[in-house]
A and B are shown apart, each in its own frame.
Chain A
Amino acid sequence: MSVKRDSLSVGLAVGAAGVAFGAVAVADHFSVAQACFLSFVLFSGASQFSLVAVMSAGGSPLSAIVTGAFLGGRNGLYGVRMAQILKLKGAKRALAAQITIDESTGVAIAQTNLEDQKTAFWYTGFGVFAFWNLFTLIGALGAKAIGDTSAWGLDVASPAIFCAVLFPRLKERRLFFTGLLAFIWALSITEFVPAGVPIISTVVIAAIVGWR
């Protein structure tokens, strides 16, 4: 019982951040329909925010697509992990794939038995999905009423969320310094290359550091 309650409360807490996505997307000149489409079909916060960020900074659609897809890459790894627990085929697998994200996988693998793992995956996944979509719509409509987005702190909503996603991943020194290197690299080249390139080019840093 408490697995369901815990899963749904994660769903509400994380889904509520959808209000920031909807608002940031509309503030960055995406339509309400585009914001809602992204939350429904793409449904992966980091990829959604990055797509909006790269396009609004003047980056090409290609660099926005590649950055978004690379950030979605970890969901593929979660899928490999969850497939072993869920053992699904056909339509159920297609449905499970859509809700395979940080939170559903995280809450699921934190459980101690197989039944709870399955319950946690579905309840967290659908909980986040439902609230994320609802709050995206609210945020997108709300942003239309806001004039100067800086005056409401909207311009730091997405980097603050990225910091929160990054923070637990930087515990190891090697990971921290790799992140720091990417941060410095991106700022060093931003004035000399097209928008979007400072971000996507850091994949090379990941490949070099991870090689050995």
Chain B
Amino acid sequence: MSSQWIAVIVTSLLCYAIKYIGHAIPEIWLAHPRVQRITNLIPIVLLSALVAMQAFTTKTKFVVDHRLAGITFAIAALSAKLPFPVVVVGAMATSAIVYRLKI
């Protein structure tokens, strides 16, 4: 089996297990404020790092290219409270235009 399939299947099963455990455990286990704070921060740090990697690296090398235009559009659109589809499609269009113009 390819390493891709292994990652796909193992992550899928782990993520389902996490969802199920949430429904099954007593709430008191997660009631500690420190646990709450850290679990609240984990998606924030991971998603921030993912944005950094996906927008500004190519194969682990730091790169600034057309993607910066797309991300800038996304942040501006979010600040202007535009709807989710506009944010995503607009970011893609902006990035694609800059890429095609070879700026």
Interface residue tally on A, bucketed by range: 35 or more
- Give chain B residues whose Cβ lies under 8 Å from the Cβ of A74: 39, 42-43
Cβ of A163 under 8 Å from chain B: yes
Give the interface SS of chain B, mostly helix, strand, loop or mixed: helix
A202 touches which of B14, B40, B48, B87 (Cβ 8 Å): B48
A 73-93 binary contact with B (CB < 8 Å = 1; else 0): 111111110111010100001
- Give chain B residues whose Cβ lies under 8 Å from the Cβ of A50: 46, 50
B 48-77 binary contact with A (CB < 8 Å = 1; else 0): 111111111101111000110011001100
Pair B6/A16 contact, Cβ less than 8 Å: no
- Give chain B residues whose Cβ lies under 8 Å from the Cβ of A1: none
- Which positions 26-43 of chain B face chain A at CB distance < 8 Å? 27, 30, 34, 37-43
Q: What residues make up the interface of A, taking CB atoms closer than 8 Å to B?
A: 13-14, 16-17, 20, 30, 34, 37-38, 41-44, 46-47, 49-51, 53, 55, 57-58, 61, 64-65, 67-80, 82-84, 86, 88, 93-94, 96-98, 100, 150-167, 169-170, 175, 178-187, 190-191, 193-195, 198-200, 202-203, 205-207, 209-212
